[in-house]
């Protein structure tokens, strides 16, 4: 396996799918635009059903050899992926900025996070459990790969979300067909291209296409498992589609994460941390703070600090130096966020900042803070996934916990306090798969990441997540009968 460093200009140009180690341009293509300029700057293959069949066939034919490849070699393959991402970091970052609109620091985290995830995952082990070993019999349970994994990613962190799926799938001995979002196909296609010759042909196939491709993939009889990141609404369709062929399914879905800020925090210091926990990537983070519950004793000063800090942050085209926040990534998401703002206006809620889309090209909505809207408002109840945040005043901790838990979602939650013990105890009462004290967004390949309630099904990360790419297989070996005395 070799790693090559491609120049930045190599990253743009013609984008092709990777099927069985070969470039496939696609019979049809569609346009990809830069959300900061709304200018089309590239085209991507619009995978046809027959091309999906080829990708699945390539993955299936590569499967037996990859399954039987020693796990030590599969670990090295994950390092080779990481090496490739790192060797091409600059060019991939530029490409990701162009297709996504995210600032360079966020694009770097997307790519480097993927590399680190590959390296971390490579250290996980597939357990062998010997539960009986007597003179009569040996019984053990092993884990074996499932076959072909269909991996479907959302557009907000295309590289990281893709590799969080690819790394454990490959380590467990599966082969993969990876499909990025139609809105952000290019960086993933380029990574597929860079990995030709790094991974054996057919082990990782990368395809791109429009709205029909996801449903074709989840219904495809040649796919054994679907691992999906996206909205709860689509997750339900994926589960229904996979049921016909009893596919194994992992779903990482939407969230409406609450943050609870207790009165003992340092207001100035915590304001900046809360700001970035809510607005990094222009709020397009599944684990972004989406409802900010602030204790009444510090509500006014923290509100003032957030408003003051928001005014210092630069939004714009991420290809320009100093940009800290980019546009919404795509038109439907832009329209969704604007509809939530419009609803808040019609209801007469108070806007502390923002509230109007920026003029000119690009899907820009400035940081919008809404002052204490009612709990049953759309902006509190729905996942905004954009740069709009309701600030919500609470009186007692019990009240804050109950309001935080009053949602169908259960992805993440944060508690902010100088009393770490109390904050950790509050985490235990929050109905969410991932809780943080005094920080947000931090993830580890060694920790189980899961959405509770309508935020998901199954686990990513950790040995538990790795096992989701396997079947249990139990082998009993009857030993020679002991000779009766």
Q: Please name the helix (run of DSSP H) or strand (run of DSSP E) that holds residue 71, with its range, or none.
A: helix 71-87
381 binds ligand NAD (CB under 6 A): no
Tokens linked to 255: 């969230």
Measuring CA to CA, how many Å separate 115 from each of 16, 88, 110, 359, 435? 22, 11, 9, 37, 24
Instruction: Give the C-alpha separation, 338 to 355, whole Å.
Output: 8
150 binds ligand NAD (CB under 6 A): no
Q: Judged by CB under 6 A, which stretch of 48-56, 57-65, 147-155, 190-198 contacts ligand NAD?
A: 147-155
208 binds ligand NAD (CB under 6 A): no
465 binds ligand NAD (CB under 6 A): no
Contact map string, positions 393 to 432, toward ligand NAD, x by CB under 6 A: ------------------x---------------------
Q: Which residue is nearest to ligand NAD (CB)?
A: 214
Among 127, 215, 301, 374, binds ligand NAD (CB under 6 A): 215
Of the candidates 199, 157, 149, the one whose C-alpha atom is nearest the C-alpha of residue 177 is 149
Residue closer to ligand NAD by CB (options 457, 467) is: 457
Instruction: Give the C-alpha separation, 29 to 189, whole Å.
Output: 13
Report, in Å, the least distance between residue 44 CB and ligand NAD.
12
Among 45, 91, 101, 255, binds ligand NAD (CB under 6 A): 255
**Contacts with ligand NAD in 119-138 (CB under 6 A)?**
none
Per the CB < 8 A criterion, the answer to whether 249 and 454 are in contact is no
Q: Judged by CB under 6 A, which stretch of 45-53, 248-256, 300-308, 398-406 contacts ligand NAD?
A: 248-256
Catalytic residue among 51, 99, 193, 252: 252
Catalytic residue among 286, 435, 460, 468: 286
Instruction: Give the C-alpha separation, 82 to 71, whole Å.
Output: 17
Of the candidates 165, 186, 184, the one whose C-alpha atom is nearest the C-alpha of residue 176 is 165
Q: Where are the alpha helices (DSSP H) in 391-436?
A: 397-405, 420-429
318 binds ligand NAD (CB under 6 A): no
DSSP at 227: E
Report, in Å, the least distance between residue 414 CB and ligand NAD.
15
Sign of CA dihedral 440, 410, 326, 154: positive
Report, in Å, the least distance between residue 39 CB and ligand NAD.
22
Tokens linked to 351: 């806007």
Count of beta carbons in the 10 Å neighbourhood of residue 361: 14
Sheet of 258-261, strand order: 350-353, 368-371, 388-394, 291-295, 258-261, 412-416, 434-437
Q: Judged by CB under 6 A, which stretch of 136-144, 155-163, 270-278, 370-378 contacts ligand NAD?
A: 155-163
286 binds ligand NAD (CB under 6 A): yes
182 binds ligand NAD (CB under 6 A): yes
238 binds ligand NAD (CB under 6 A): yes
Residue closer to ligand NAD by CB (options 231, 245) is: 231
Of the candidates 356, 411, 409, 379, the one whose C-alpha atom is nearest the C-alpha of residue 292 is 379
Contact map string, positions 433 to 462, toward ligand NAD, x by CB under 6 A: ------------------x----x------
230 binds ligand NAD (CB under 6 A): yes
Among 44, 82, 149, 154, binds ligand NAD (CB under 6 A): 154
Among 117, 155, 279, 469, binds ligand NAD (CB under 6 A): 155
The C-alpha torsion from 390 through 393 and 394 to 399, rounded to 10°, is -30
Q: Which residues on neighbouring strands pair with residue 44, listed in sequence order?
A: 30
181 binds ligand NAD (CB under 6 A): yes
186 binds ligand NAD (CB under 6 A): no
56 binds ligand NAD (CB under 6 A): no
Residue closer to ligand NAD by CB (options 3, 284) is: 284
Q: Please name the helix (run of DSSP H) or strand (run of DSSP E) that holds residue 472, with its range, or none.
A: strand 470-478
188 binds ligand NAD (CB under 6 A): no
Q: Judged by CB under 6 A, which stretch of 8-16, 153-161, 293-301, 361-369 contacts ligand NAD?
A: 153-161
Tokens linked to 207: 């395809």
Cα 477 from chain centre: 42
Among 54, 156, 174, 407, binds ligand NAD (CB under 6 A): 156
Whether 252 sits among the annotated catalytic residues: the reply is yes
Count of beta carbons in the 10 Å neighbourhood of residue 321: 8
Residue closer to ligand NAD by CB (options 122, 232) is: 232
CB under 8 Å, gap of 24 or more: what pairs does 445-451 form? 445/116, 445/117, 445/120, 445/121, 445/123, 445/124, 445/167, 446/120, 446/123, 446/124, 449/252, 451/251, 451/252, 451/253, 451/255, 451/409, 451/410, 451/411
252 binds ligand NAD (CB under 6 A): yes
Report, in Å, the least distance between residue 409 CB and ligand NAD.
9
What contacts 453, CB < 8 A, 6 or more positions away?
Answer: 407, 408, 409, 410, 431
Catalytic residues: 252, 286
Interacting residue ranges for ligand NAD, rule: CB under 6 A: 152-156, 161, 179, 181-182, 214-215, 218, 229-231, 234, 237-238, 252-255, 286, 383, 385, 411, 451, 456
């Amino acid at each position: 396996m070799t790693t090559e460093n491609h120049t930045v200009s190599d990253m743009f140009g013609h984008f092709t799918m990777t099927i069985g180690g070969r470039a496939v341009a696609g019979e049809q293509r569609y346009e990809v635009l830069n959300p900061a300029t709304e200018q089309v700057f590239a085209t991507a293959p619009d995978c046809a059903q027959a091309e999906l069949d080829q990708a699945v066939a390539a993955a299936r034919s590569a499967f037996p050899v990859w399954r039987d490849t020693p796990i030590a070699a599969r670990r090295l393959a994950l390092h080779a992926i990481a090496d490739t991402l790192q060797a091409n970091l600059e060019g991939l970052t530029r490409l990701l900025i162009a297709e996504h609109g995210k600032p360079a620091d966020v694009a770097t985290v997307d790519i480097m996070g993927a590399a680190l995830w590959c390296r971390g995952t490579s250290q996980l082990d597939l357990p062998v459990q010997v539960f009986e070993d007597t003179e009569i019999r040996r019984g053990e349970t092993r884990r074996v790969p499932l076959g072909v994994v269909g991996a479907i990613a959302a557009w907000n962190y295309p590289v990281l979300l893709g590799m969080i799926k690819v790394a454990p799938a490959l380590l467990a001995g599966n082969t993969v067909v990876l499909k990025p979002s139609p809105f952000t196909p290019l960086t993933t296609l380029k990574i597929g291209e860079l990995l030709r010759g790094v991974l054996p042909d057919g082990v990782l196939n990368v395809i791109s296409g429009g709205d029909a491709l996801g449903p074709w993939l989840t219904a495809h009889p040649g796919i054994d498992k679907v691992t999906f990141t996206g909205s709860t609404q689509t997750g339900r369709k994926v589960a229904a589609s996979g049921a016909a062929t009893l596919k194994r399914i992992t779903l990482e879905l939407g969230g409406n994460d609450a943050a609870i800020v207790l009165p003992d925090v340092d207001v100035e210091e915590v304001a900046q941390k809360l700001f970035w926990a809510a607005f990094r990537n222009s709020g397009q983070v599944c684990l972004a703070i989406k409802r900010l519950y602030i204790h009444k004793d510090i509500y006014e000063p923290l509100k003032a600090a957030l408003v003051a800090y928001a005014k210092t942050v630069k939004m714009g085209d991420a290809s320009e130096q100093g940009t800290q926040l980019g546009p919404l990534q795509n038109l439907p998401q832009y329209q969704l966020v604007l509809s939530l703002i419009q609803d808040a206006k019609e209801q007469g809620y108070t806007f502390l900042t923002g509230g109007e889309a920026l003029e000119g090209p690009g899907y820009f909505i400035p940081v919008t803070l809404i002052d204490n809207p009612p709990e049953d408002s759309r902006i509190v109840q729905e996942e905004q996934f954009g740069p709009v945040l309701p600030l919500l005043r609470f009186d007692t901790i019990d009240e804050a916990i109950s309001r935080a838990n009053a949602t169908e979602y259960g992805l993440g939650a944060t508690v902010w306090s100088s009393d770490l013990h109390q904050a950790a105890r509050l985490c235990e009462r929050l109905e969410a798969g991932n809780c943080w004290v005094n920080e947000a967004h931090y993830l580890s390949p060694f920790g189980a990441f899961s959405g509770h309630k309508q935020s998901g099904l199954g686990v990513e990360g950790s040995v538990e997540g790795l096992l989701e790419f396997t079947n249990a297989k139990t082998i009993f070996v009857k030993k020679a009968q002991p000779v009766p005395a």
